[in-house]
Structure 1
Amino acid sequence: MNVFATLKTVFFGSKFLSSPVPIDGTPRRDLVSALNGLMPLCRTIPGVRLALDIREGQVVLALNWTPRTDGNASTGSYHYIVSDEEGVREMADSQVLFTENGKDNLPGSMDGPRKHPTVSTEKTEKDSAHLKKGVQKKAEPTSPEDTGKKAKSHTLMQEVTAFLTSRYRFRFNVLTEETEVASVENNIPDTHLRYTKVDERWMNSLSLEAIETGIDCWDRDIQRFVRSRRISEYHPFTAYFEQLPEWDGTDRVSALARRVSDDPVWVNGFHRWMLGLSAQWMQLNPDNNRANSVAPLLVSSRQGLGKSTFCRLLMPDTLKSYYTESYDLSSPAFAEAKLAAYGLINLDEFDKLGASKMPLLKNLMQASALNIRKAYKHSASSLPRIASFIGTSNREDLLVDRTGSRRFLCVSLKHAIDCTTSVEHKQLYAQLKTELLSGERSWFNKEEEQTIQQHNALFYKHVPEEEVFRLCFRFATEEDNPQEVLSLSATQLFERMKAAHPSIMRGMTAYSLSRILPQLGERVHTTKGNVYRVVEC
């Protein structure tokens, strides 16, 4: 390899000679690029030192190194001079100077006369010195002092790591994105330790304990470990299911449902819903695009029957912090974020939710994949859904959209719920886990959804348009005489209803009626538009 030829190509082959000198004295961009090109070359030469001296009208580049063939030989100093007048030229042999006592010598004395005057501006001289110093610093080998600092830093981190892991256990909660800590106690397995969030007080306590044991560390040394990827990740729900015992074969899910009601539709539907809840907690087949899209609704006009208490009873002790009754649908982004942060969301007093919120709620209930941007991050992340929904209501006429009623499994309470008998959560969820792993379905099929819709007929909210319609008409059946069956549009129905009951129909419109009719009966599409087959009462 011809070092000098390469040196000329990399540095003096750049275009910086042909471009004008910046008037502010700053280095040219292509000069910096040329210096970057020298770095791979310098790494191949033992003991290399490179100096760059820039003066008005000329540039001197000095490259010093120890020859490979003779490590004891004097260090050679080879120089190139660049000027606007003479271009690039290598100094004559008589001008080559050799280092004395390991010190570099540039061509000519720094204090002696020069062919070109020194730079007239102070800034250019400073830039030259800074550039020269930076190049030399990169090329210099690691000093013993630097090596000692690295060794000390390595030893310190080993001491900090050994101290923390001997006294504490750490885990990174992927739901809260926070590190949790537990004190190691004798005769207590790690699975039974009580963890808490590492807040500022905990961080300061860990730093003080480390210093008191003789470790010469700073707060940042403790934080570096606690907030690193060395802390293993922990998912509260999957970890809970991994630690469950074997199921003993007793059906606890149906027994839990019967605390509320013996209605077969409720008991079977609650069991299916619990399978969906457990599948999401286990993160079982997260790519199948099926969410637990049904919500049980506990309905009673009487207070104090234990509706909300029963909802809370479903959560195991270690997962109670992932239950919430606070769900604000006025903020869609925050509402969606809670689907990835909580295990169970109670829509308490469901009957107070406005009809305008229902479309958003149903979309959220069906969402399986979430695209959420957290407050302190610049981009959105795809997060798995964890949460299922349950709700309570003090009114029985709570469902407005009949076509969407399949999303709610309503049950009317006839007595107080038994909330005093403890729930064997481990066996309850061990049963659900066993059933899921055995291939049991975790979602409602079409037949089950149709059964829910029929079951929910008692919970529909009857609007005035519907009441007047039923006073005037009923939907035709196959048994009706074809001559009595009328095919009328929504507007025609509205006009006949208004003629029959003008005072009751005051304030109603054909549009409001048209939104109710598809929920009451079948709409038939004809060449003349959509009509409804009805019989006058």
Structure 2
Amino acid sequence: MRITQVRDDGKVNTLRTLRIEQLVELMKVETKAQPVSKMREVLPYMLPGDKNDYVQKVPKLLPAAAFVRKNGMMVMAEYNGIVMIQVNNLSGPMEADEVKKWVKELPQTYLAFVGSSGKSVKIWVRFTYPDDLLPVTREQAELFHAHAYRLAVKFYQPQFPFHIELKEPSLEQYCRLTFDPELYFNPESMPIYMKQPVSMPGETTYREQVQTEASPLQRLAPGYESHEALSVLFEAAFARALEEQEEFQPDGDIHSLLVALAGHCFRAGIPEEDTVRWSRAHYHLPKDDFLIRETVKNVYRSGRGFADKSSLLPEQIFVMQMDEFMKRRYEFRFNQLTTQVECRERNTFNFYFHPVDKRQMASITMNAQYEGLKLWDKDVVRYLNSDHVPVYQPAEEFLYDLPHWDGKDHIGDLAKRVPCDNPHWPHLFRRWFLSMVAHWRGMMRKNYANSTSPILVGPQAYRKSTFCRLILPPCLQAYYTDSIDFSRKRDAELYLNRFLLINMDEFDQISIAQQPFLKHILQKPVVNTRRPNASAVEELRRYASFIGTSNHKDLLTDTSGSRRYIAVEVTGVIDVVRPIDYEQLYAQAMAALYKNERYWFDERDEAIMTEANQEFEQSPAIEQLFQVYYRAAGKEEEGEWLLAADILQRIQKAAKMKFSFGQATHFGRILRRLGVESFRKTHGVYYHVVALE
């Protein structure tokens, strides 16, 4: 049985497979460099989310499978059925040893060791089919592993009084190499048998029992740590004491204020010593320690009803209780792209956020009332619409948590998956890709937008639409769409704020009448519109970039030019099977933007696109008929100077055809695009043409 070790310190990224026995020996001793011990020394001084060289130097361990690198990507070679559950946030070695002592008694425990932080315990459990075999394909392994993880948690959690921290199960789940000379390893452990599941498990199959808050201070001031709760309660008591002393002056009778304050602190449940300490620290109160201590002591000795009445107002207590309940039971975030509040319940198998709907809101209200909190639907709505719910921006979360770029050209590799004869395609695609990422980051100036769109042209079954979808990583797939209706203008404008990438599938189906609005949408830098159910017009940030597909070559109909499109003819099936290293793909884009690489198209790029797009431009019937009956006159030729309407009237008579008003209005633009010389007179614009015999 083999596991995978990954060494990724920002400079070197290597894979190594190890037998379990080798790994156990590695964890029992530490190398001369002592990377784990040094990491444990710096961890207490690090803030959450900080990256540190000492941490990066400790290799990662992936217990679920043995991975190998193919074409620069990490792929599963062999699934070994090991599930890792974690007991985190322990106080130190004593609690860690206590956890190991409990799990040693279970015959299913395969390996248990103290984590690299020294304050956690990792427990490895083996799962197999009833015939001792294991899944072979990655798809089977992912389903098997997801069910096995949930079963392991449900089996181990009731066995010992320590909280198992729930993590989303995946084959790439890892922990770091550790140093634990007293780790527990049982190669003869009993595997847990499980049949191959056919679908992913539901998300509400386990729920931890809600425990009552043990700290009296945190019951009095919910949601606050002990020192913060003391501060809140003391300030509330001080406010009540000042209200009673209506005519109090800073240089007046301090003793009466101190007596009133001590009484309120006593009834609020603040310990005597803490009342003395906070009174001494308060700038309005006397600096005589003896007076403060004796006054407080006498009030506490003569008082009755300790902690039976908080100085906080009922409204304050209710809001604190509601805030504590929400943060303890749920995790909320406001998604800026969907403009919805999303939620997942803590201490359950709800690993993914879901929009809060009416059913979820009713469940929140019911759960609060089960705990004795008088919370109603309107209170939940008020909380969800407040700034107590943090803002979440999916693209920024993804981009700013990327690893260091490994130096390989992943953007160029993605472009080369599209077989074509256009030698400029990799360069233009790179520029468009950088522009898309820069747009997500808000680097584009307010007056500009990512107005250029690649158009993939080719027969069906060439995987054009699949390629467009694969540009976004899995975590951002919810912000991709290939369904946009340009006839519904308000919805189309809102899509600019709602989605990151819009695929104009079957681009040739966009009518000529919709082309002006399409041009407007492509170059629109911000969205000024009214959201559904809103009462005012807002200025919304644009995130969307565009890409398109078509089965037909004659698709560009804009008479003003085609510099906004990168049209390429796909000459073969696009490679969508080979996996994409999204983290490195976007890390390369971020590195390029950090180095100020140009992400906008200049005049040279636009000239290349305009020239390459000529073979994809649609030649209208009216243009073809003009070239049958007329041509542009040379500068030295006599020719005729005619109005566009006169030329069109002669063509209609000769061809015995009638043209619509829309076609007639575009005829002058067609003549100018064909290079026909013109000049303006009082009655209109005259064109210099020669009739063909």
> TM-score, normalization: structure 1?
0.64
* Matched residue SS, 1:448: helix
Could you tell me how far 1:340 is from its partner in structure 2?
A: 0.9
Q: Confirm or deny: 8 A CA contact 2:560 2:669 kept in the other structure.
A: no
Query: Per-residue CA shift, 1:166-206, capped at 9, x if unaligned?
Result: 333221112222221223459x9xxx952221222222222
| Structure 1 gap segments, 5+ residues each | 1-43, 49-146
Q: Residue 313 of structure 2 aligns with which residue?
A: 151
Please tell me whether residue 160 in structure 1 is matched to residue 346 in structure 2.
no
2:670 aligned partner: 516
Match of 1:306 among 463, 488, 491: 463
**Higher relative contact order (CA closer than 8 Å, sequence separation 6+):** 1
Q: Return 5+ residue gaps in structure 2 as ranges.
A: 1-242, 248-308
User: Counterparts of 1:458-477 in structure 2 under 5 Å?
Assistant: 458-475=615-632
Preserved CA contact (<8 Å) 1:182 1:193: yes
- Equivalent residue for 1:507, pick from 627, 643, 658: 658
Taking every aligned residue pair, what percent have the same amino acid on both sides? 35
Select the residue among 518, 529, 532 that pairs with 1:375. Answer: 532
Q: Give the letter for the 1:299 counterpart.
A: V
Query: Residues 422-441 of structure 1 correspond to what in structure 2 (within 5 A)?
Result: 422-441=579-598
Deviation string for 1:399-448 (max 9, x for gaps)?
Answer: 12242311221111111111111222221111112212221222222221
Aligned-partner Cα distance in 2 for 1:497–1:373: 47
Structure 2 CA distance for aligned equivalents of residues 485 and 247 of structure 1: 63
Aligned-residue offset at 1:514: 2.9
* Cα contact 2:652–2:658 (8 A) shared by 1: no
CA drift of 1:450 comes to 2.0
Equivalent position to 2:481, from 310, 324, 327? 324
For the Cα contact (< 8 Å) 1:523–1:530, is it kept in 2? no
Q: Which residue of 2 aligns with 1:183?
A: 345
Measure how far apart 1:221 and its partner are: 4.0
SS state of the match for residue 162, structure 1? helix
- Contact kept? 1:245, 1:426, Cα under 8 Å: yes
CA distance in 2, matches of 1:198, 1:171: 10
CA distance in 1, matches of 2:410, 2:320: 50
Deviations 1:139-183 (A, max 9, x none): xxxxxxxx9796333223323322322333221112222221223
Q: 1:363 to 1:156 in 2, by over 3 A?
A: same
1:332 Cα deviation from its structure 2 partner: 1.4
Question: Cα deviation per residue 1:314-348 (whole Å; 9 max; x = unaligned)?
Answer: 11112111111221112211211111111111111
* Pairing 1:268–2:419 present: no
Decide whether the 8 Å contact of 2:676 with 2:689 is kept in 1: no
Structure (1 or 2) with the larger CA radius of gyration: 1
Once the 2 structures are TM-superposed, how far is the Cα of residue 208 of structure 1 from its aligned partner? Answer: 2.9
| Cα separation, 1, equivalents of 2:474 and 2:688 | 56
Structure 2 length-normalised TM: 0.51
Q: 1:436 to 1:486 in 2, by over 3 A?
A: farther
Q: Structure 2 matches for 1:51-90, cutoff 5 A?
A: none
Pair 222,379 (structure 1): closer, same or farther in 2 beyond 3 Å: closer
> Separation in 2 of the partners of 1:523 and 1:473?
13
Is the CA contact (8 Å cut-off) linking 1:257 and 1:266 kept in structure 2?
yes
SS in 2 for 1:255: helix
Equivalent in the alignment of 1:455: 612
> Alignment partner for residue 500 of structure 2, among 343, 360, 382?
343
Q: Deviation digits for residues 205-232 of structure 1, max 9, x if unmatched?
A: 2233333344454444444333321111
Tell whether the 8 Å contact from 2:453 to 2:566 is kept in structure 1 after alignment.
yes
Q: Cα deviation per residue 1:298-328 (whole Å; 9 max; x = unaligned)?
A: 112x211111111111111121111112211
For 1:198, the equivalent position in structure 2 comes to: 356
Q: Is the 8 A contact 1:400 1:461 kept in 2?
A: yes
**What aligned pairs does 1:87-98 form with structure 2 within 5 A after superposition?**
none
Instruction: Work out whether residues 463 and 573 of structure 2, in 8 Å CA contact, stay in contact via their aligned partners in 1.
Output: yes
Q: Which amino acid aligns with 2:331?
A: R
Measured after TM superposition, the shift of residue 353 of structure 1 is 1.3
CA distance in 1, matches of 2:606, 2:451: 11
Are the equivalent residues in 2 in contact too, given 1:341–1:386 (CA < 8 A)? yes
Structure 2 CA distance for partners of 1:347 and 1:285, relative to 1, 3 Å: closer
Which aligned pairs between 1:119-268 and structure 2 lie closer than 5 A? 151-184=313-346, 194-262=352-420, 263-268=422-427
Amino acid at match of 2:565: F
Give 1:378 deviation, angstroms.
1.5
Residue pair 1:402, 1:460 contacting (<8 A) in 2 also: no
Q: What amino acid is aligned across from residue 405 of structure 2 in structure 1?
A: W
Q: Match for residue 443 of structure 2? A: 284
Q: 1:465 to 1:505 in 2, by over 3 A?
A: farther
| Deviation by residue 1:8-67 (Cα, 9 ceiling, x = unmatched) | xxxxxxxxxxxxxxxxxxxxxxxxxxxxxxxxxxxx9x999xxxxxxxxxxxxxxxxxxx
Counterparts in 2 of 1:252 and 1:476: CA distance versus 1, 3 Å: farther
Whole-Å Cα distance in 1 between the matches of residues 623 and 667 of structure 2?
A: 8
**In the TM superposition, what is the alpha-carbon distance from 1:495 to its structure 2 partner?**
6.8
Read off the aligned partner of 1:272 and give its amino acid letter. R
- Report the aligned-residue RMSD: 3.3
